[in-house]
Structure 1
């Protein structure tokens, strides 16, 4: 299998990765092939399932990586007989959220996003029917660490269709709100409605 650039060349690897990742409660986000043909770099990007909050456990990712690497070493049908650099990784905080599934996985996270020419700093609490983002604006802190206030008349709660978001990215956060689980529970639509 010498054509790593073709989609069909990834089918066997994709199938093997999905099987191994499922055993570790991870999902395949995408496979990216870069580098020269003589030593291609294959990045297998993984994440947690949409219905789970938070980031993937890096120890679990490392275990899945070792298992996939061992399988690639054993089976030349996956990436061919020539050497390749295989990396199993998570999307990272620099990934742009572009698909509804990205937003569902980011529930509870603080985002910087733009929609209709307006920039927001808001926590994603839920993704409602028709992929509407339910957000709580959070103004952040000034350069001295003091809490900022939202301008008077600004609504704390936002509902923005995912299709109207022009850019969105998870923000690194060291101190999420203590009541995060309750905020998410209150914003999540019930299955009966």
Structure 2
């Protein structure tokens, strides 16, 4: 499975990041997850290795905490067994999911967010709150909600133009900003 994995080589050489990705991906995929990003940082004499995993793009929901814990244990055991993967010295491994507040920036992020309510701003500055109904090719299909009335603190500030409620289609390339809107039921 080809993933566009975000890599940062701030403390580990780029080649080592590539090597870590190749070694980590089979373990992560064995648990039904994908490697979202891999980042390293120096913290004094120690190396912090931050691994972000997620469900594949065709799945809706969130990664199970027990599964993430299992991945963390296996990656930790691998690093303990082969210190050459990140070099000598103390290290900390953190395995997490992207979380609900990550910006949706890639087509696969939107595929994972199907059925969710999103706060969206398009490239022309229009904003809306809409449920992502479907992703068709590179086009997003929303059911735009009527926004709740929120009193403005400064009435002199112009409101951003809103997309009217109802069905709305737009290409992913027209999204300037999108985030999952938390729903409390």
| Same fold, TM-score > 0.5, yes or no | yes
Matched, 1:159 2:169: yes
Residue 153 (structure 2) pairs with residue 124 (structure 1):
no
Answer with 96-105 or 73-82: which moved more: 73-82
Asked if residue 91 in structure 1 is aligned to residue 101 in structure 2, the reply is no
TM-score (norm 1): 0.78
Q: Structure 2: give runs of 5+ residues left out of the alignment.
A: 1-9, 151-162
**SS of equivalent to 1:65:** helix
Q: How many residue pairs get matched?
A: 163
Aligned equivalents of 1:125 and 1:137: distance in 2? 10
Q: Which has the higher strand share?
A: 2
- Distance of 1:34 and 1:110 partners within structure 2: 34
By how many angstroms is 1:36 displaced?
2.8
Give the direction of change, closer, same or farther, for the CA distance of 1:94–1:34 in structure 2 (3 Å limit): farther
TM-score by length of 2: 0.81
- Tell me what 1:17 maps to: 24
Superposition deviation, residue 111 in structure 1:
0.8
Cα distance in 1 for partners of 2:106, 2:90 equals 33
Structure with greater helix percent: 1
Structure 1 runs (4+) greater than 4 angstroms displaced: 140-143
Alignment equivalent of 1:61, drawn from 65, 68, 85? 68
Once the two structures are TM-superposed, the CA of residue 4 in structure 1 deviates from its matched residue by 3.5
Deviation for aligned residue 1:155: 4.1
Listed as ranges, the gaps of 5+ residues in structure 1 are 144-152, 176-193
Shift of 1:37: 5.5
Q: RMSD over aligned Cα, in angstroms?
A: 1.9
Can you list the C-alpha shifts for 1:129-172, whole angstroms capped at 9, x where unaligned?
2x1111111236568xxxxxxxxx93411111111100011122
